[in-house]
Amino acid sequence: MDKFVIEGGVPLKGEIRISGSKNAALPLMAAALLADGKTTLRNIPALHDILTFNNVMRVTGARVEFEAASETLTIDPENIYYPEAPYELVRKMRASFYMLGALLGRGGYARVSLPGGCAWGPRPVDLHLEGMKAFGANIRLEEGYVVAELPEKANGLSGGQYKLSPSSVGATVNLLLATVKGTATAVIENAAKEPDVVQLCHFLTQMGANIDGIGTSTLRIQGVSSLKGVTFDNAPDRIETGTFMILAAMHPESQLTLTNTAPDDLGFFTDWFRKTGAEITIEGSSIHLKAPQTIQPVSVITEIYPGFPTDLQAQWATLMTQAEGESHVTDTIYPDRFSYVPELARLGANIKVRNNTAVIKGKTPLSGTSIMSTDLRASVSLVMAAMCASGRSEVLRVYHLDRGYARLEEKLNQAGARITRVNGDVEEA
């Protein structure tokens, strides 16, 4: 497995281009299977999760071509003949579970393995299944697989209403995919309003779907007989944007410009960021950042969009280790998402977890050492801490990073970081 060797204590200066969003791209890819023709998606990052989902789609018979250099993905579903997503692929990333809605919506039958993904937290799929049942699908579990199909002699789902409790991006996506084709009307209440869901709705309507309430918590879907293939541009990654914003604030001499961003997709995050004392100027799709001389402690509580994102809480806690005073980071979305805390402590952070809250006492000097992570966002938080630490650090298991951050070390090194990727660490005997 690869690792990063990081020489810390250097500011970031220059410009970084934000990649397309992985979390937004995956629903688009699944939705492309509903079309009668070929779809071309642009601004698709060359990430391990994207490559994995390409293979998931290929299993069904779909033709998938990805040009990493141009970040262009072409999906032709004409020859889908095998409506199944196997365990050996789905276990690698839970977003593969979107195949359930896509295959059910396309052909009335899907057999999809229960998902895997990051090694933390219970993230059940009950809402996905109960919603599909409410809209008329027959659901059964079969040796670790979910089988979803239309009732005998039915021409499509029967529709109806279903309220998500709690709101869920994944369940909203899967229910959209399952219901946009057909003759029935389906209403999703308490639907997720994240930019990823809004983009998916716009993509589906461009394909010919009939969806009312886009951007609100109530989506009304009137099924249509067919969808067409289109060309569509994926949105910039708001989590990558937020990650680099936080990183820019951690060294008092850092001045960084982020390009190809979507500032409006950040929700209220920008307001919290300004409270740290960092300077931020937004010009179109560019964000100019200047680090504060003294980082102010700012406590946050994760919430559904447009609240503080759970995918930025580990990065925020890392920033707060360098703030002058005590702060709290509470995760109400995934209460046990704190696997990074012991590793930050190894670097010298004064941070403890109480229930679903990290209590951070700063400012603490960080010193380089070897650290290891267990999930995507924890990995990047440890890279950030190592960049702030004095001396040399090793961040192990960076394959987690490759799932969600495109060319991370390349981008950061262009802005002055000193990160080397080393092949084949063997720390896990």
Q: With respect to residue 90, please indicate whether it lies within any of the assigned structural domains.
A: yes
pLDDT of 187:
98
101 with 217, same domain? yes
Per the CB < 8 A criterion, the answer to whether 314 and 343 are in contact is no
**Separation CA 256–CA 254 (nearest Å):** 6
Q: Domain holding 32: CATH number?
A: 3.65.10.10
CB atoms inside a 10 Å sphere around CB 422: 12
* Residue 124 is assigned to a ligand binding site: yes
241 with 294, same domain? yes
pLDDT of 428:
41
Q: With respect to residue 290, please indicate whether it lies within any of the assigned structural domains.
A: yes
Per the CB < 8 A criterion, the answer to whether 45 and 18 are in contact is no
Report pLDDT digits (tens) over 31-43. 999 999 999 999 9
Question: How many domains is the chain built from?
Answer: 2
Higher pLDDT, 375 or 329: 329
Is the pLDDT score of 122 beyond 50? no
Is the pLDDT score of 427 beyond 80? no
* Residue 11 is assigned to a ligand binding site: no
Tokens of 307: 């609240």
Q: With respect to residue 347, please indicate whether it lies within any of the assigned structural domains.
A: yes
Query: DSSP code of 236?
Result: B
Angle made by CA atoms 397, 392, 315, in degrees to the nearest 5? 55
Is the pLDDT score of 292 beyond 50? yes
Cα dihedral value 164, 160, 95, 155, nearest 10: 170
Report pLDDT digits (tens) over 198-239. 999 999 999 999 999 999 999 999 999 999 999 999 999 999
- Of the candidates 262, 231, 201, 198, the one whose C-alpha atom is nearest the C-alpha of residue 41 is 231
13 with 84, same domain? no
pLDDT of 278:
98
CA 74: distance to chain centroid? Answer: 21
CA dist 147 → 22, 30, 92, 186 (Å): 26, 17, 19, 21
* Residue 311 is assigned to a ligand binding site: yes
Q: Which residues are annotated as catalytic?
A: 118
3-class state of residue 179 by DSSP: helix
* Residue 112 is assigned to a ligand binding site: no
Q: With respect to residue 231, please indicate whether it lies within any of the assigned structural domains.
A: no
**Separation CA 191–CA 218 (nearest Å):** 6
Query: Percent of the chain, pLDDT > 70?
Result: 97
Quick one: residue 258, left, alpha or beta (phi over 0 = left, psi -120 to 50 = alpha)? beta
12 with 34, same domain? no
* Residue 333 is assigned to a ligand binding site: yes
Query: Percent of the chain, pLDDT > 90?
Result: 87
**CB contact burial 322-359 (16+ within 10 A = b; e otherwise):** bbeeebbbbbbbbbebbbbbebbebbbbebebeebbbb
pLDDT of 374:
77
Quick one: residue 399, left, alpha or beta (phi over 0 = left, psi -120 to 50 = alpha)? alpha
192 with 335, same domain? no
84 with 201, same domain? yes
CB atoms inside a 10 Å sphere around CB 218: 13
Q: Which amino acid makes up residue 261?
A: T
- Determine the average pLDDT of the residues in 102-108: 97
Is the pLDDT score of 74 beyond 60? yes
Q: With respect to residue 308, please indicate whether it lies within any of the assigned structural domains.
A: yes
Domain boundary among 190, 206, 226: 226
Name the least confident of 16-25, 111-120, 327-336, 404-413: 111-120
pLDDT of 378:
84
130 with 8, same domain? no
**Separation CA 194–CA 172 (nearest Å):** 10
Q: With respect to residue 55, please indicate whether it lies within any of the assigned structural domains.
A: yes
pLDDT of 116:
54
31 with 15, same domain? no
Q: With respect to residue 374, please indicate whether it lies within any of the assigned structural domains.
A: yes
Q: In which residue are the tokens 């402690």 written?
A: 297
Report pLDDT digits (tens) over 146-194. 999 999 888 889 999 999 999 999 999 999 999 999 999 999 999 999 9
Is the pLDDT score of 118 beyond 50? no
Can you give the pTM of this predicted structure? 0.94
Is the pLDDT score of 426 beyond 70? no
Q: In which residue are the tokens 């994207």 written?
A: 50
CA 319: distance to chain centroid? Answer: 20
333 with 271, same domain? yes
161 with 178, same domain? yes
* Residue 174 is assigned to a ligand binding site: no
- Determine the average pLDDT of the residues in 89-111: 93
The pairing of strands 3-7 and 419-422 is: antiparallel
Is the pLDDT score of 269 beyond 90? yes
Query: How does residue 335 score in pLDDT terms, banded at 50, 70 and 90?
Result: confident
* Residue 123 is assigned to a ligand binding site: yes
244 with 208, same domain? no
Domain boundary among 226, 259, 274: 226
Percent helix, strand and coil across the chain, each to the nearest 5: 35, 25, 40
290 with 209, same domain? no
Domain boundary among 179, 199, 226: 226
Mean pLDDT (the chain, rounded)? 94
Higher pLDDT, 343 or 335: 343
Domain that holds residue 379: 3-19+236-422
Is the pLDDT score of 17 beyond 80? yes
Q: With respect to residue 429, please indicate whether it lies within any of the assigned structural domains.
A: no
**Separation CA 407–CA 53 (nearest Å):** 19
Per the CB < 8 A criterion, the answer to whether 262 and 247 are in contact is no
Q: In which residue are the tokens 């409006």 written?
A: 264
The helix (run of H) or strand (run of E) holding residue 357 is strand 357-361
**Separation CA 148–CA 164 (nearest Å):** 19
Is the pLDDT score of 96 beyond 80? yes
The pairing of strands 279-283 and 286-290 is: antiparallel
